[in-house]
Amino acid sequence: MKAVVDPRLCSGHARCHATAPEVFELDELGYAALASGGNALVAPEYEEAARDGAMACPERAITLIDQTDAQQNRETEDQP
């Protein structure tokens, strides 16, 4: 799973961090950032926490992308 935070939508409520601190952290201004140095890949053991954190965001500034679905979409697009 991949997590993406849209900084244009984030208002700094910090609900994602409060819900899933192992996935989301706050930058120096209090806006959402990805934990583990900005790595967008979510470890399998934190996928449920990432979903909970994304759902806690009132602005829906967090998008979660299932890597399996993304791979299947690429394979479908490559077919004639």
7-38 pLDDT, tens digit each: 899 999 999 999 999 999 999 999 998 876 66
Per DSSP, the three-state class of 6 is coil
- The pLDDT, as a whole number, for residue 68 is 72
pTM for the predicted model, two decimal places: 0.77
Look over the chain and give the mean of its residue pLDDT values, rounded to a whole number: 86
pLDDT tens for residues 33-46?
887 666 689 999 99
DSSP letter (8 states) at residue 63: E
Which residues make beta-bridge pairs with 64? 3
**Phi-psi category of 70—alpha, beta or left, where left has phi over 0 and alpha has psi -120 to 50?**
alpha
The sign one gets for the Cα dihedral 25, 29, 30, 31 is negative
Sequence-distant (≥ 6) Cβ neighbours of residue 9 within 8 angstroms: 59, 60, 61
